[in-house]
Amino acid sequence: MLGFLPKLLTFAEFIQLIPEGKRYELHDGVIFEMNPPLGKHEKIVGFLTRKLSTQLDKLNLPYFIPKQALVKSPGNKLGESAYSPDILILNDINLENELFWEKESTVTQSGSIPLVIEVISTNWRVDYYRKYSDYEEIGIREYWIIDYQPFGACKFVGDSKKPTISIYSLVVSEYQLSQFQGDDQIVSSIFPELNLTANQIFNASFA
């Protein structure tokens, strides 16, 4: 069983062990199987993937959205980490510089990763704490947290606990936060022409 491995794993060992067909992440050398996503979670992911793909074509950017890929963090004294984002946008031009791309579909460099999006589920602490820190350290330009339930603590979504989209934009080397609720228009430096409100994303209506 993956959950009972006797030692912390390196990234190379993790890649060799994970079976196909399920999503796993490596957190400080420990394998975590991702919980099956809820229906609304998947609808939001599908809705945004469609909308952002349209923007990529419109802006003629050399970016694409992979079906499955990993983001490997620099690692620390506790161990190595690798994440499987809900939506990952990659810069095709920089992939030739990625050591793990061809064989492991894994990226490590900020030049390869304009945007990462996580749609929150019950393991919200991972997204708000661990991934926030690692994505900032990598230097990813934008990190979106879509908390549609919301699941996160009040300090992240406010005492009223309203569904919230948190967009962290990299300024110099630190993330600056902008938050969107209700009919707020989403503001993204990656997609300046994106015409979506927070509610449109939460409702994920294809009509």
Where residue 50 sits, what CATH number does that domain have? 3.90.1570.10
Q: What's the structural domain count of the chain?
A: 1
Residue 64 in any domain: the answer is yes
- Which of 148, 175, 180 lies closest to 40, judged by CA? 148
3-state helix, strand, coil in the chain (%, to 5): 35, 25, 40
Q: What is the pTM of this model?
A: 0.93
**3-state SS assignment for residue 201:** helix
Residue ranges making up the domain that contains 103: 38-203
Residue 28 in any domain: the answer is no
Secondary structure E strands in 18-173: 24-27, 30-33, 63-64, 70-72, 82-83, 87-91, 106-107, 115-119, 142-147, 164-171
Find the mean pLDDT for residues 71-94: 92
138 pLDDT exceeds 60?
yes
Residue 146 in any domain: the answer is yes
Residue 90 in any domain: the answer is yes
Residue 24 in any domain: the answer is no
Residue 19 in any domain: the answer is no
Contact 165, 180 (CB under 8 A): yes
Residue 10 in any domain: the answer is no
Question: Judging by DSSP bridges, how do beta strands 87-91 and 70-72 pair with one another?
Answer: unpaired
Contact 71, 113 (CB under 8 A): yes
Output the pLDDT for position 185: 97
Residue 156 in any domain: the answer is yes
3 pLDDT exceeds 70?
no
* Per-residue pLDDT tens over the stretch 17-70: 887 778 899 999 999 988 888 899 999 999 999 999 999 999 999 999 999 899
**3-state SS assignment for residue 199:** helix
Assign 75 a pLDDT band (cuts: 50, 70, 90). Answer: confident
74 pLDDT exceeds 90?
no
Q: Does residue 75 or residue 81 have the better pLDDT?
A: 81
| Residue 116 CB-density burial (10 A; 0-12 exposed, 13-18 middle, 19+ buried) | buried
